[in-house]
Amino acid sequence: MQRNSGAAAPAAASESSATTTTTTTPASSEYKDIVYTLDSGVATIRFNRPTRKNAFTVNTYREVERALKQAGADPAVRVAVLTGTGDMYSSGNDLSNFLNIPEGGPEQLARESAKLLEDYVASYIHFPKLLVAAVNGPALGVAVTVLGLADVVFATDRATFKTPFTALGQSPEGCSSYVFPQIMGPIKANAMLLLGQELSAAEAERVGFVSQVLPHEHFHDAVHRKALEFAKLPPQSMQISKRLIRERTLGVLDEVNRTECKVLSERWLSEECMNAIMAFMARKQK
Amino acid sequence: MQRNSGAAAPAAASESSATTTTTTTPASSEYKDIVYTLDSGVATIRFNRPTRKNAFTVNTYREVERALKQAGADPAVRVAVLTGTGDMYSSGNDLSNFLNIPEGGPEQLARESAKLLEDYVASYIHFPKLLVAAVNGPALGVAVTVLGLADVVFATDRATFKTPFTALGQSPEGCSSYVFPQIMGPIKANAMLLLGQELSAAEAERVGFVSQVLPHEHFHDAVHRKALEFAKLPPQSMQISKRLIRERTLGVLDEVNRTECKVLSERWLSEECMNAIMAFMARKQK
Amino acid sequence: MQRNSGAAAPAAASESSATTTTTTTPASSEYKDIVYTLDSGVATIRFNRPTRKNAFTVNTYREVERALKQAGADPAVRVAVLTGTGDMYSSGNDLSNFLNIPEGGPEQLARESAKLLEDYVASYIHFPKLLVAAVNGPALGVAVTVLGLADVVFATDRATFKTPFTALGQSPEGCSSYVFPQIMGPIKANAMLLLGQELSAAEAERVGFVSQVLPHEHFHDAVHRKALEFAKLPPQSMQISKRLIRERTLGVLDEVNRTECKVLSERWLSEECMNAIMAFMARKQK
């Protein structure tokens, strides 16, 4: 319980700042692939590569991870919102990440990619404040799995959720192998993680993966208004209650994250996976 | 498995008594805030402070705890039913409990309140027979959280469920921080425990928090008829099967209960919580 | 992670064989109570005692266990499908199993029955490939509980699911005391396991026990077509992802299986259980 008092301190300090900050503060100069804004206690992290379906390059992973750490540490922030620019939330991992083979060969690439992913997922696991996802359109792969680590998930009626790991010769990440069965039950989790079946927004709400489906029109405004309300709740209680709900599984999540990334790095080096990805890219280029 | 034979003994002894007791046995003389009745193996514990919305004073907690122990130990009892008098199930903790500051100051009050709550919740965790809740109207706070420890939950179509812990500067109790995510999934649990969103009876049934919604009219009769049926099932099998389902989590529940009460006692002494409760009481008095 | 490479080997070996085997291969000569067929990577295990409602005798348990091991080890098999002949999936344990008292008396019978059941359930827990159940009609008792260990469950609109353990003086098996609460939440699990309430196919889909309800007409064809699609997915990824999802609970499932069978063997020797089974058989013979 020592950690309680430790966490309460920054939250208490934020009380005054959060209520006085009322203008949007773009701090995007430090970011290239995302836009980071702050408004009255709500930090918004927007994936901003719309011409590439907001796919995650190596740099995108690092920027989102950094932005989450910034929001977590900034006493003026009480709620973080993740969303995407344009019609797509994010197509997940940019497969071009696999094309830049470093000097150390595929083994080095697999090792570094696994480390990148593990650190990225860890920044979700350990985010200390309310984490809201605003899924403004289709989401794929790693953009879907980490949603299971958010506290609140809003989705437009055009959002879809798909994790075609098996078809691409890969395996679940983002703690989904552990978290998805808990969220939606093992049968639905298998349909997504083993069989790659797509979930509609309505179905996602029904199985408890999405908090609420909102109309596509004015989606971002509606989410922002709700986030502003959440930011008014007593901040210490919010952080302490979130920790209480999660602290029993934090160690498990870290372990699952590590295992998933290790298994995935082995998958990336397998012939089965390489063939599946090459076949996928060939289909795309037609 | 040694505990099996031990538990089987009283259950076996109850076989004859349960089937012969057919009249209502009011034993309410020992209770002030509740009414305890016994009919054909069904013990009913009714919260009976309708002019105070069946809110729980220090004495109410103790009486319900004692009544659960009585029902658990009495070989004539096979099923216990919890319900409320009037239109409300219970508004939860009576905030006037916080107004009688003992000699030891707020610290002593917080310590004693946490102990009271921990013992109360423990009496739900360890109730050895079928525990049925009959939610006859709106339920709030601690009256909601311990429902997650019941085996069967009936609700009228007028019941609602709300746990506004964060808004009141507090934190989850009744093992809800652990049990709610398992019952309704983390997303719905967060909506209730972090954001204080109210659940309707229909929604509560849909997410698996309520076994069945029954019409408001004749609600108590309908539940009682069902409870009488449950009381006819082989009592040893019932107790042994309940234990089998729960025994893996009993230790966890005790630990979660302890942690929740400790965190809550710290919350009660925080400025944030005191301000939130005073603001709430001021709103009430207008 | 050592186990990964070990498991990948047979899967990799199966790649060629699975795609070349295109004809149905009846291998039923070794089986009496089931029919085992293989088609393009899909092994079908069909309970085949339609005149006895596909109830499980001692021999049926052993044959299904053996068939699962055969399918698990055969590199030509990628997916196993369990189903029943006729209008019923299976009525579960054949109560006539309790009528052949061995020389060692009821104690020996209880011990041997518990061992038989534990081994049978273990063959579900440890099946390494995609396990599909095709529930073609009503399912009872142990035929229901082990469905919680399948990866995909299809059901016709005529399927029903019932586990009347308490009424028969018995207790949950097939890991249902642990798995059912995780699949459908504790409230629905209690309704089935403690109160013996029947689940319809639609309700089973709603609570996450069934992946999809399909029309009764052409049910087997529809399931087979789906299974053939599943069998085309990269086999290493499928096995590795299934293991990733399950490996954290394998030890728990083995322990739960052991405990359940032990408790059940004690139940079988209790007067309460013997009376309940005799009363049930007497009702049946009327």
Beta carbons of A172 and C245 less than 8 Å apart: yes
Q: Rounded to whole angstroms, how far apart are CA atoms A219 and A210?
A: 14
Chain C residues lying within 8 Å of A191, measured CB to CB: 152, 211
Look at residue B21 and tell me whether its pLDDT is greater than 50: no
Beta carbons of A152 and B195 less than 8 Å apart: yes
Chain A residues lying within 8 Å of C130, measured CB to CB: 194
Chain B residues lying within 8 Å of A248, measured CB to CB: 178, 252, 256
Q: What is the pLDDT along chain C (286 residues), one digit of tens a residue?
A: 233 333 333 333 333 344 334 344 445 468 999 999 999 999 999 999 999 999 999 999 999 999 999 999 999 999 999 999 999 999 999 988 888 889 999 999 999 999 999 999 999 999 999 999 999 999 999 999 999 999 999 999 999 999 999 999 999 999 999 999 999 999 999 999 999 999 999 999 999 999 999 999 999 999 999 999 999 999 999 999 999 999 999 999 999 999 999 999 999 999 999 999 888 888 877 6
Lowest-pLDDT range of B10-19, B32-41, B182-191: B10-19
Residue of A nearest to B175 (CA): A245
Residue of B nearest to C260 (CA): B244
CA distances from C42 to C18, C140, C172, C224, C285 (A): 9, 25, 31, 8, 40
Q: Which tens digits make up the pLDDT trace of B98-119?
A: 888 899 999 999 999 999 999 9
CA distances from A108 to A56, A102, C54 (A): 19, 7, 55
CB atoms within 10 A of CB C280: 14
pLDDT at C224 (0 to 100): 98
Residue A107 lies in a domain: yes
Q: Rounded to whole angstroms, how far apart are CA atoms C92 and C173?
A: 12
Q: The complex's ipTM?
A: 0.90
pLDDT at A99 (0 to 100): 82
Beta carbons of A259 and C244 less than 8 Å apart: yes
Residue of A nearest to C147 (CA): A187
Number of B/C CB contacts below 8 angstroms equals 96
Residue B1 lies in a domain: no
The CA distance from B134 to the nearest CA of chain C, in Å, is 14
Residue A12 lies in a domain: no
Q: Which tens digits make up the pLDDT trace of A46-57?
A: 999 999 999 999
pLDDT at C74 (0 to 100): 98
Chain C residues lying within 8 Å of A195, measured CB to CB: 152, 230, 233
pLDDT at C226 (0 to 100): 98
Residue of A nearest to B164 (CA): A233
**In which band, very low, low, confident or very high, does the pLDDT at B286 lie, cut at 50, 70 and 90?**
low
**In which band, very low, low, confident or very high, does the pLDDT at B14 lie, cut at 50, 70 and 90?**
very low
Q: From the list A1, A153, A241, which residue is nearest B193 (CB)?
A: A241
Residue C4 lies in a domain: no
- Residues in a beta bridge with B195: none
Q: From the list C5, C12, C183, which residue is nearest A185 (CB)?
A: C183
Q: Which tens digits make up the pLDDT trace of A76-108?
A: 999 999 999 999 999 999 988 888 889 999 999
Q: Rounded to whole angstroms, how far apart are CA atoms B14 and B75?
A: 4
CATH number of the domain enclosing A66 = 3.90.226.10
- Residues in a beta bridge with A160: A200
Q: From the list C211, C236, C237, which residue is nearest A191 (CB)?
A: C211
CA distances from C181 to A216, B11, C12 (A): 35, 25, 36
Q: Rounded to whole angstroms, how far apart are CA atoms B237 and A232?
A: 50
Residue C150 lies in a domain: yes
Chain-centre distance of CA B221, in angstroms?
Answer: 20
Q: From the list C8, C211, C230, which residue is nearest A187 (CB)?
A: C211
Residue B3 lies in a domain: no
The CA distance from C175 to the nearest CA of chain A, in Å, is 14
> Which ranges in chain B belong to alpha helices (H)?
2-20, 58-73, 105-125, 142-145, 176-193, 201-206, 219-230, 235-268, 271-285
Residue B11 lies in a domain: no
Residue A6 lies in a domain: no
- How much of chain B exceeds pLDDT 90, in percent? 84
DSSP string spanning B147-213? GGG-SEEEEETT-EEE--TTTTT----TTHHHHHHHHHHHHHHHHHHTT---EEHHHHHHTTS-SEE
Contact predicate C64/C30, CB 8 Å: no
Q: From the list B166, B185, B193, which residue is nearest A234 (CB)?
A: B166
Chain C residues lying within 8 Å of B207, measured CB to CB: 185
Q: Which tens digits make up the pLDDT trace of C125-173?
A: 999 999 999 999 999 999 999 999 999 999 999 999 999 999 999 999 9
Residue of C nearest to B12 (CA): C272
β-strand pairing of A79-84 with A130-135:
parallel
Q: Which of B125, B129, B240 should one mutate to test binding to chain C, selecting the residue with the greatest count of C CBs within 10 A?
A: B240
Q: From the list C1, C184, C242, which residue is nearest A194 (CB)?
A: C242
Beta carbons of A165 and C233 less than 8 Å apart: no
- How much of chain C exceeds pLDDT 70, in percent? 90
Residue range A193-202: average pLDDT? 98
pLDDT at B284 (0 to 100): 77
pTM: 0.91
Look at residue B17 and tell me whether its pLDDT is greater than 50: no
Q: Give the count of domains, chain A.
A: 1
Beta carbons of C260 and B238 less than 8 Å apart: no
Q: Which tens digits make up the pLDDT trace of C172-196?
A: 999 999 999 999 999 999 999 999 9
Q: Rounded to whole angstroms, how far apart are CA atoms C95 and C143?
A: 13
Which one-letter amino acid corresponds to residue B115? K
Domain range holding B104? 17-285
C200/B10: higher pLDDT = C200
CA distances from B196 to A229, B112, B141, B163, B168 (A): 12, 26, 10, 5, 10
Residues of A with a Cβ under 8 Å from any B Cβ are: 1, 4-5, 8, 12, 15, 130, 151-153, 182-184, 207-211, 230, 233-238, 240-242, 244-245, 248
Look at residue A126 and tell me whether its pLDDT is greater than 70: yes
Closest CA to B261 of B95, B122, B104: B122
Q: C12: Cβ–Cβ under 8 A, 6 or more apart, which residues?
A: A272, C235, C236
Contact predicate A160/A199, CB 8 Å: yes
Q: Return mean pLDDT, chain B.
A: 90
Lowest-pLDDT range of A18-22, A28-32, B53-57: A18-22
Which one-letter amino acid corresponds to residue C85? T
Q: From the list C183, C209, C241, which residue is nearest A165 (CB)?
A: C241
Chains near C (3 or more Cβ pairs under 8 Å): A, B
- Residues in a beta bridge with A52: none
Q: Rounded to whole angstroms, how far apart are CA atoms C121 and C65?
A: 8
